[in-house]
Structure 1
Amino acid sequence: MNSKRFFFAAMFAVGLVVSNVHAQTSGTKEEAKAMVDAAVDHVKKVGPEKAFKDFTSDAAWKKKDLYVMAYDNKGTVVGHGANEKLIGKNLIEMKDPNGVMVVAELTKTATTKGEGWVDYSWPHPQTKKLEDKSTYVRKLANFEGWVGVGIYR
């Protein structure tokens, strides 16, 4: 009987540790929005070209599993904190496994609403596994495009 209690207590403790580690390495919606706010301000301050380079190469624009991405309104990647190889590629036609046209939806949200959340599936930059993701995007005032930061759910 005592060994059963110990087993369940140990499993509960392991679950708490795993949950705490996940919370420390996973960004929140609030953190994603704050990063978008900072990214928009950075584009205004240093200009689009420099800002997009910074988002791609400067570690200050990567926190936990969050990173800044920037696209023009035609769907071409102009800055990407998780994968520099995407720069210059047009991804407007890209679909996730559920048929969501990810970049088209992100662009539509930014251009028609000014800002908002879009849900889709995307490979996690740390685990490389496909996970559900929500990305917050905002239209840029001084560039025909948008910036976004996504959270894995």
Structure 2
Amino acid sequence: MKKITIVAICLIVGLLSSNAGAEEWATKEECVVKCHEAAALINSKGLDAAIKEISNPKGAFVWKDSYVFLMNLDGKMLAHPFRPELTKQEHVLLMTDPTDKALFVHFVNLARKVGHGWVEYMWPKPGKTTPSKKLSYIYRVPGQDVFVGAGVYVGGMMY
């Protein structure tokens, strides 16, 4: 009986700790909501105000292990809270992930042709250098030639 009690306690502690960790990871639903909020900001306050807010690593568009980025339909990164050097390049379309996927080309094509959807690729987590599998939601801002994106890291994370 004592062994069963110990096993039950260990099981409960394990379940509670795994649920606590899940709260630290962004969900797909949160990515969609944040992208729509960023699009609303662009349409209400203008592109310059949105670039400033989206670029802020402590701003409203950075949460848990995710963030919103902003690009135009020509492939120029306009705002990225953790990789501001990407905004200095004319465009990022030639960049590929470690699997040779031209992720930014996929983003632009999806935004142009469909307007929204998901793209899977490899990208480092904030503060890390090793790429992890990521799934990003891309959303073209209605009435604009720009789109926003936000993603979840795949592998052991709930989404």
Unpaired segments ≥5 residues, structure 1: none
Q: Which structure 2 residues correspond to residues 127-142 of structure 1 after superposition, within 5 A?
A: 127-142=128-143
Tell me the secondary structure at the aligned position of residue 37 of structure 2: helix
Instruction: Report the Cα offset of residue 82 of structure 1.
Output: 2.4
Unpaired segments ≥5 residues, structure 2: 155-159
Rounded Cα–Cα distance in structure 1 between residues aligned with 2:14 and 2:131: 22
TM-score (norm 2): 0.82
Q: Is the 8 A contact 1:48 1:142 kept in 2?
A: no
Q: Could you tell me which residue of structure 2 aligns to residue 51 of structure 1?
A: 50
Rounded Cα–Cα distance in structure 1 between residues aligned with 2:27 and 2:80: 19
Instruction: Number of aligned residue pairs: give it.
Output: 152
**Structure richer in helix, relative to its length:** 1
Q: Could you tell me which residue of structure 2 aligns to residue 151 of structure 1?
A: 152
Please identify runs of 4+ aligned residues in structure 1 that moved more than 6 A: none
| 1:111 to 2:112 alignment | yes
C-alpha RMSD of matched pairs (Å): 2.3
Matched letter for residue 39 of structure 1:
A
Q: Is the 8 A contact 1:65 1:126 kept in 2?
A: no
Rounded Cα–Cα distance in structure 1 between residues aligned with 2:13 and 2:84: 36
Rounded Cα–Cα distance in structure 2 between residues aligned with 1:113 and 1:22: 34
Matched letter for residue 26 of structure 2:
G
Rounded Cα–Cα distance in structure 1 between residues aligned with 2:46 and 2:37: 13
Matched letter for residue 25 of structure 1:
E
Q: Which is worse superposed, 103-112 or 120-129?
A: 120-129
Instruction: Report the Cα offset of residue 35 of structure 1.
Output: 0.3
User: Aligned pair in 2 of structure 1 residues 128, 13: CA closer, same or farther (>3 Å)?
Assistant: farther
Q: Could you tell me which residue of structure 2 aligns to residue 125 of structure 1?
A: 126
Instruction: Report the Cα offset of residue 6 of structure 1.
Output: 4.8
TM-score (norm 1): 0.85
Q: Could you tell me which residue of structure 2 aligns to residue 73 of structure 1?
A: 73
Matched letter for residue 79 of structure 1:
A
